[in-house]
Amino acid sequence: MIDFSRARERMITSHLSRRGIRDRHVVEAMGVVPREAFVDPGFEEFAYEDSALSISHGQTISQPYIVALMIERAEVQPGDTVLEIGTGSGYAAAVLSRIAAYVYTIERHAGLAEVAERRFAELRYGNIDVRVGDGTAGWPEAGPFDAILVAAGGPEIPHALKEQLDLGGHLVIPVGPPEEQRLMKVTRVNATTFEEQDLGGVRFVPLVGEHGWHEERVQSGARLRAAPTLPELVAEAAEPLPDLDDPAFGLLFDRFAGRRIVLLGEASHGTSEFYRARAAITRRLIEEHGFTIVAVEADWPDAAAVDRYVRHRSQGMRLDAPFQRFPTWMWRNREVMDFVEWMREHNGRRSLPDRAGFYGLDIYNMRGSISAVLRYLDETDPEAAAVARERYGCLTPWQNDPSTYGRAAMTAGFRKCEEAVVRQCRELLEKQLEAGRDSGDELLDAVQNARLVASAERYYRIMYYAGADSWNMRDTHMFETLEHLLNARGARSKAVVWAHNSHIGDARHTDMGTAREELNIGQLCRERFGDQAALIGFGTHGGHVAAASDWDGDMEVKPIRPSLEGSYERVMHDSGVGCFLIDFARHARLRDGLLKPLLERFIGVIYRPDTERFSHYAHASLPRQFDALVWFDQTTPVEPLGAQHIKAGVPVRPLRLVNP
């Protein structure tokens, strides 16, 4: 037996409050009207899903969020007189009646109007009057109205409805072709002046009438459109995102706050919107939901310098600035610096155990890791430091160019070196276990750096042979580092991960897994944590990106070629919605439509537009790869740090640009 009261409460929390509906009257009204009474028999179990449901006469009952959004934007208040066009099931009129003094509603289908009237009577909602007729002409004798809401999309805003608004009244109506509309808000300023505001893309049934679409055209169009296209389904499911600086941006991601790990991707390493969006989401998760780990696709020693800064720890003896290894702009950019400054300010108001840390997951900086381990041992155990120097000595010739170690490893002696670093790692791990969690951050740094050196030695050896082994070892190392961080911060710790889509999307549902037998962090998190991990991808269609043409090359600002036909990016672009979130769990029809693998674009630190199809596209099943997608149709490059951006005490030196 379905508990509709609890389902209604979940609807309020998940579909309304978390998506920015704030009007107290709207929330209270939605909380008392039984939506299950307004759906067709047999559909009661779906009443509180955030999706539109079909009713008779080819009409729909709008999704709860849209009903709430339109009422909130119409600014309906107690005592108001309201006109609704398109009674449908009667649900929206019922909600309006719990706020306004009186509701007039018009329905062109007599059968729907009759059923709605019967529902109102059964619920004893006596302040609703229903008329069968042409809604585009309004209800002049009942006006003027404080608010008019139209639940169908017309080619333009009917003049008759505007004229029936009272001074200061608001009209909310979808306007545009039958395939897609813009939700418009019209406010009457005086007798002849009206202000218009675009509230974003929507998709409603056509508004038929003298001042709307003609019946014949609608019926003809219905015969031609047997099923919605993928872009149409995207437009229907897309949740428009507010400005990146609006606190409401992070609020939309509260739905993932109950997970232990939230993985935030990026479709390139040089796109400003991806960094800023991840920062906004992470700020919200830290401030409101107790996340204390920010784990990024960066080297541990470099990130440790930032962690010392943001958690107000001693800066230690590090002399060189972090993030000097290619690609420097990936982490030494304005977007990251702004987030780092926010973390430091936030942590300054928290006790030490509650401060959020900034950690690196990656494996590359073997030289920095060796130095960090030796520095720790020099201060705590000089004899052990001497032994470690001897053990690490065989790696020294390749520390500045560790990729050459793979060639040397083929000759002789590499097994002895591997055994030495593993032994060192084991001894530090044993020391951590003996000391317990109260040992402090310095020991955690040293333990992780010892692990990194051991992993890096194997990584640089096997990468000479190519194949999936080097990728798999790197991502396994990053995942194990994430696990160590969660264990170190305690059983209730929660983490946000920043990494490329290729790392955080489940590899099993891409060419990586199906064709190259590669795994990644996203796959490992799902296998280990199940539903406690949320995988959120990011995408774009065009704009500009910061990237190089070759490894170790200069950073360039490059135009992004428009996405290819037949790609997920082109489907998203063709939806016509510029910036949105899609939560695949909430939109089964769209998820099913996108399951068949399509091309997906991956831009890393290198971007080669001339060979883009072969260099940057692979097949994937997007809704299996990610739990959700964040889309920015047009994007801009990150801003590399210049001297004017660096403040005293920030552990990052300015980047000298060769090719800005």
Continuous segment of H or E residues that includes residue 172: strand 165-175
Cα 237 from Cα 589, distance rounded (Å): 9
Phi, psi of 43 (to 5 degrees): -110, 10
Cα 245 from Cα 335, distance rounded (Å): 12
327 prior amide bond cis, ω within 30: yes
CA angle 604, 607, 610 (to 5 degrees): 145
Cα 333 from Cα 223, distance rounded (Å): 53
Cβ atoms of 507 and 518 within 8 Å: the answer is yes
How far, in Å, are 90, 97, 162, 443 from residue 139 at the CA level? 17, 17, 12, 75
Which of 56, 52, 7 is CA-nearest to residue 33? 7
Cα 96 from Cα 67, distance rounded (Å): 10
Cβ atoms of 122 and 51 within 8 Å: the answer is no
Cα 527 from Cα 508, distance rounded (Å): 11
User: Does 549 qualify as catalytic in the annotation?
Assistant: no
Phi, psi of 536 (to 5 degrees): -120, 115
Tokens coding 463: 């990468």
Amino acid at residue number 272: S
Cα 113 from Cα 88, distance rounded (Å): 7
Which residues lie closer than 8 Å to 657 by C-beta, 6 or more apart? 555, 640, 642
Amino acid at residue number 582: I
Place of tokens 């289908």: 109
* Residue of 51, 62, 97, 563 marked catalytic: 62
Give the catalytic positions in this structure. 62
